[in-house]
Amino acid sequence: MKPPPFDYVAPGTLEEAIDALGAGGPDAKLLAGGQSLIPLLAFRLVRPTLLVDLNRVPGLASVRALEDGGLAVGAMTRTHELERSALVAERWPLARAAAPEIGHRQIRNRGTVGGSIVHADPAAELPAVALACGATLHVLGPEGERAVPAAAFFLTVFTTAIASDEVLIEIRIPPLAPGLGSAVVELSRRRGDFALAGAAATVTLEDGICTDASLVMFGLGATPLAVPAAAEVLRGAAVSEAQASQAAAEVAAVIDPGSDAHGSVAYRRELAPVVARRALLEAATRAGHAPDARRG
């Protein structure tokens, strides 16, 4: 199919992009990598009156270290940079773990980190990763810049807290705790497909004991779903198979999966604790081998 008619602008600055969004109204759309938007246009599932192309706006594609030990990733950074960047591997290992699971190489070469997060597909990896690591999303609009915690950013399917005249400019990741390990585990029909069930996990160990953890499920509800009860199960204990299984069982109270041609509700409910347990165990294993992890 062919997309519906729309106007197109390619601003050269962020200010021009924000002005164009304001002039275009709520039916204007931003174009970043286009890996989600272009198929929606082709099937006429979205009908924007104006397309604002961010690809000529300088300064939005960067990976930089923050003085506090955290990381800032520009919204137009291509997803493949998450695989290549040594700085990402060091300061945002959860994104490094997720990157190979995102679509296919061609998609990662063109798709953007910010585009995936703002698109807010509940089966996508990067929204879950942003939530699991406590990222802050920095957006810019006519009233200036504001920072939105990932926990408040994802509202429902394909819907975020960003206003129609705002642009996501940067994702900021807090410093990693010593002894933190990360893992992303998902199950899909084929490699590159969206997850039928997925989990992003972090585990922090001190002398072999869990001092902190996070678990976020994706593909199992309208948004990425944090499971704080799972972290409570693990804190103060060694992360054994039994502990990880007990923690993973907590996902049942949080998830709300749908049914489609790829899997029923019952099937997805069976998969959820499996990927959660695997992610927690893998994160704990990596935490045990982290350079700063203390061992008894």
- Answer whether 51's CB lies under 8 Å from 6's CB: yes
Question: What is the fold of 63-173?
Answer: 3.30.465
Architecture of domain 180-288: 2-Layer Sandwich (3.30)
| pTM as predicted | 0.94
- Answer whether 167's CB lies under 8 Å from 139's CB: yes
H or E element that contains 214: strand 209-218
Q: Which residues pair with 186 in a beta bridge?
A: 198
Domain with CATH 3.30.465.10 in the chain: 63-173
Domain with CATH 3.30.43 in the chain: 7-51
Overall average pLDDT of the 158-172 stretch: 97
Give me the CATH code for the 7-51 domain, please: 3.30.43
Q: Is the pLDDT of residue 296 over 50?
A: no
Measured in whole angstroms, the distance separating CA 33 from the mean position of its chain's CA atoms is: 16
Q: How far apart are CA 275 and CA 273, in angstroms?
A: 6
In Å, what is the CA distance from 205 to each residue of 96, 183, 276, 289? 20, 14, 18, 10
CB within 8 Å of 240: residues ≥ 6 apart = none
Instruction: Give 4-52 pLDDT, tens digit per residue.
Output: 899 999 999 999 999 999 999 999 999 999 999 999 999 899 999 999 9
